[in-house]
Structure 1
Amino acid sequence: MDKIKIRGLEIWAKHGVFPEENVLGQKFVISADLYTNTRSAGKSDDLTQSIHYGEVCQFMKTFMEEHTYQLIETVAEKLAEELLLVFEHLQGIRLEIAKPWAPVGLPLDTVSVEISRFWHRAYLALGSNLGDKEAYLRQGIQGLQDRKDCRVTAVSSFLRTAPYGGVAQDDFLNACLELDTLLTPEELLDVMHEIEQEAGRERLIHWGPRTLDLDIIFYDDIVYDTPELHIPHIDMQNRDFVLNPLAELCPAYRHPLLKKTVEELKNALTEPEEAHAK
């Protein structure tokens, strides 16, 4: 990915663990790599197609001056998030914040914190088979859209499907959505659980009825496995109620383990039924 580099921006601000640092202030030095696609701007010579690095520098200066934090780790985290939220073409950032006068009582050049943060693309599955199913799905979508660190960029059709897992219950209403997010997979999972709880979700029976069910299907192209979370979703290739709406959004998206596209997985699931019908 292309990047615009900012090096050695000096700012006087009030951040630090010691009270005098928050009163008197000190010098901070910021360096940043702004990850973006510069091709459109390069071909058109149009600044609106790129990131105005002068505005970015002024934004960082104002942010540093108007806020006070004890840790430069917090300064870096908050500043990176705000930059990613404010600047349209910014897809990611590597940010280093240095304290040349760090009060450690020993001779040193500088102490710094460096982080990298990016927008991530995730695909989620939604389901409901209790009460007003469509209202619950829309509540789940809105719950994500209401967060500043999540952007719902596309939603599939709502599809009525038979229940999965052998538990006798009403039919489901299912959908998938495309999401850009600053959250990590674990943070996104926590947010999804909060949204489910707000919709009255109760986890009483495995594969049982629920007001709202949210699952992460893909998150970028990562393979992630913990006791609480599996990415890609561990059983998505066997679920037509996931593959059908997902194919509306990203038919060419390739499963990082199975090496097949969503469209190929969908076709593989329906082909045996079609062959048996013949």
Structure 2
Amino acid sequence: MEDQIRISDLEIYSNHGVYKEEKVLGQKFLVSAVLYTDTKRAGVSDRIEYSVDYGNVCHRIAEVMEKNTFDLIECAAETIAKTLLLEFPLIRHLEIEVKKPWAPIGMPIESVAVKIFRGWHRAYLGVGSNMGDRMEYISSAIDRIEEQQDTKVVHVSGLIETKPYGGVEQEDFLNGCIAIDTLKDPLELLDFLMDVEKQSGRVRTVRWGPRTLDLDILMYDDLVMNERELTIPHKEMHKRMFVLEPLAEIAPYLMHPLLRKTISELKETIEKE
């Protein structure tokens, strides 16, 4: 269980709501936060720089609430969560609750509240190219990812040259893997990566065909997901040496959540075949 810093019912008067009167007259809101962070270093050293300054957090929450006007407290909660995660690097995950004690529903009620849980996620991406300036396509893709405010590139593997997969006659690939920390959920990340591919000139006409850029979500935390648009872990990753070799370079002990083997073990299995 992660350490926590708790802020309970921070009282803020601000102007949010669907109705015009709410925006003009304003009303009281109560904001609570649970900040998940490692407090051990701060607890041993007794130094504030090793902890999350909850005073600064409170003032930042108040600024978000007072300097914006939201129709929905859902949007207020999302904005607070993203602001804190981006501005306080020691916060890994958090819970935000926004209460509206005077919700205008025409009935006696103590409050209406929205509570959300948000945080950083570690994802692993496969990257490849076999058309044009392969190195430039891959480098540009990494730059595009790093430009995202809500995504950080953590590790980049070396690139290996590999034969094409799937039986379509084409040029050899350059392949590698990237580890990122992101606030995007899996489908948001997929949409973003497909946009990066599109901007590189990627055209999806032939399955396993040549491409300027290929970006695949291999793993996302220990999530298991099987939707029409996206399967996580990538359903072919454990069969592909061009994935496992660069992935083992940056995350050898990463555990496949379904096969219950590390990336190094999966790589060794293929090497023995």
> What percentage of aligned pairs have identical amino acids?
50
Q: Which runs of 5+ in 2 are unaligned?
A: none
Indicate the residue corresponding to 2:11 in structure 1: 10
Tell me the equivalent position of 2:171: 170
Q: Which runs of 5+ in 1 are unaligned?
A: 273-278
2:64 and 2:79 in contact (8 A); partners too: no
**Residue equivalent to 2:102:** 101
C-alpha separation between the residues in 1 aligned to 2:255 and 2:39? 26
- Superposition map of 1:69-218 within 5 A: 69-218=70-219
Write the deviation string for residues 59-111 of structure 1: whole angstroms up to 9, x where unpaired: 00111100111000111111111110000100011110001111111111111
Aligned-partner SS, 2:90: coil
Partner amino acid, structure 1, of 2:144? G
Alpha-carbon distance in structure 2 between the residues aligned to 1:249 and 1:77: 32
Runs of 4+ in 1 over 3 A off after TM superposition: none
Could you tell me which amino acid in structure 2 is paired with residue 49 of structure 1? Y
Q: Distance in 1 between matches of 2:41 and 2:154?
A: 21
Q: Is the 8 A contact 2:13 2:27 kept in 1?
A: yes
Q: Secondary structure at the match of 2:63?
A: helix
Contact 2:64 2:80 in 1 (8 A): yes
User: Amino acid of the residue matched to residue 44 of structure 1?
Assistant: S
1:221 and 2:251 equivalent? no
Deviation of 1:155 after TM superposition, in Å, equals 0.3
Give how far 1:159 is off. 1.0
Distance 2:42 2:249 in 1: 31
RMSD: 0.7
**Offset of residue 20 of structure 1:** 1.4
Q: Secondary structure at the match of 1:237?
A: helix
* Secondary structure of residue in 1 paired with 2:29: strand
1:203 counterpart SS class: coil
CA displacement 1:174-207 (0-9 Å, x = unmatched)? 1100000001111100000000001000001000
Shift of 1:41: 1.1
- Letter matched to residue 87 of structure 1: F
The answer to whether the 8 A contact 2:218-2:234 is kept is yes
Q: How does the TM-score come out when normalised to structure 1?
A: 0.97
Give the letter for the 1:116 counterpart. F
Deviation at 1:24, TM superposition (A): 1.4
- Per the alignment, residue 275 of structure 1 pairs with none
2:32 alignment counterpart: 31
Instruction: Tell me, yes or no, if the aligned pair for 2:5 and 2:36 is still in contact at 8 Å.
Output: yes
Alignment-mate amino acid for residue 165 of structure 1: G
SS of match in other structure, 1:135: helix
Q: Describe the superposition over 1:18-53 as per-residue Cα deviations: whole angstroms up to 9, x where unpaired.
A: 111111111000111001111111111111111000
1:265 aligns to what? 266
Letter matched to residue 219 of structure 1: Y
**Distance in 2 of aligned mates of 1:261 and 1:18:** 54
Partner of 1:276: none
Q: Secondary structure at the match of 1:157?
A: coil
Instruction: Report the Cα distance in structure 2 between the residues aligned to 1:134 and 1:43, rounded to whole angstroms.
Output: 46
- CA separation in 2, counterparts of 1:44 and 1:166? 59
Rounded Cα–Cα distance in structure 1 between residues aligned with 2:65 and 2:253? 43
**1:140 shift after superposition:** 1.1
Q: Which amino acid aligns with 1:127?
A: G
Q: Secondary structure at the match of 2:152?
A: strand
CA distance in 2, matches of 1:90, 1:240: 36
Q: Give per-residue Cα distances to partners, 1:142-175, cap 9 Å, x unaligned.
A: 1111111111111000111111111000000111
How do 1:231-242 and structure 2 match up within 5 A? 231-242=232-243
SS of the counterpart of 1:176? Answer: strand
2: distance between equivalents of 1:87 and 1:254?
A: 29
* 1:65 lines up with 2:66 in the alignment: yes
SS of equivalent to 2:243? helix
